[in-house]
Amino acid sequence: MLLTACSGGGETPASPAAAPTSNATSSAAPSPSPSSSPPPVSSSPPSTSAAPPVGSGKVVVLDPGHNGGNASNPAEINRKVPAGRGQTKPCNTTGTSTNAGYPEHAFTFAVAQEVGNALAAKGIKVVYTRQNDSGVGPCVDERAQIGNNANADAVVSIHADGSTSPTAHGFHVAYSAPPLNAAQGEPSLKLARTMRDGIRDDGFATSTYIGSAGLSPRNDLAGLNLSTRPSVLVECGNMRNADEAGQMSSAAGRAHYAQAIAKALEAYLASA
Ligand SMILES: [Zn+2]
């Protein structure tokens, strides 16, 4: 099962064709410097009353899986980095795609931007682990560090799966287990449950092939292992399933995913 996860071994590895200039490509890789999201959309102007915005003081780190330049930079993304629990993993992976070729990295970036815009409109500070969909990386350990450095109230990695079974479908939310620190314990489990509930309540089916009731405890995901903040990874669905591929490939479908994730994050922050 885990072999089919997009962040596991089921995706197309980058070919080791590039020249071994890892030092050069490493320094040329986009720096993981976080930046704030765009300001709230004009349809939600800040209130002039004394009441602070609902999200005042809260920080969310959004981590769109993979990156558009990964596939053409195998030397950089295949280098091993710390993955937690004494393990190492490739810096990053290419991610999967729909059968029609719509890539996971484009989906995750688009959804993260929409989630971030919705949260920023509520006064929540949003930090992204990557600023565009054409760069390389950052590595999984660097992504975790961005969440840690931001002192995030919640960290959400956004992915889509690539199960080779076309009938496999549904979303799941992964969390670190067994926990390696306090934040990976109850806070992350609560975030995972709240995220699962919110996405399910918004009309999405839980996974038919990974985890249980939309939740998947994992000990092998570097971003979760290395996090010191409440963190989850959302696999929105199976890009190799025709119905879910259709949703992910459409702007309306991506907006639906984003709305569900943003609402769940707001619910978590309100209860945290
Ligand atoms: Zn992925």
State which CATH number among 3.40.50.620, 3.90.25.10, 3.40.630.40, 3.40.50.10860 fits the domain covering 53-271: 3.40.630.40
Neighbours of 81 (CB within 10 A): 18
pLDDT of res. 56:
77
pLDDT of res. 271:
92
pLDDT of res. 113:
98
β-bridge pairing 87-90 and 80-84:
antiparallel
7 CA distance to ligand 1 centroid (A)?
5
Catalytically annotated residues: 235
191 CA distance to ligand 1 centroid (A)?
19
Instruction: List Cβ neighbours of 260 (8 Å cut-off, separation of 6 or more).
Output: 198, 199, 201, 202, 203, 204
Read off the pTM. 0.83
Rounded Cα gap, residues 110 and 221, in angstroms: 22
223 CA distance to ligand 1 centroid (A)?
12
pLDDT of res. 30:
44
pLDDT along the chain (272 residues), means of 10: 41 40 40 47 50 77 98 98 98 98 98 98 97 98 98 98 96 98 98 98 98 98 98 98 98 98 97 88
51 CA distance to ligand 1 centroid (A)?
39
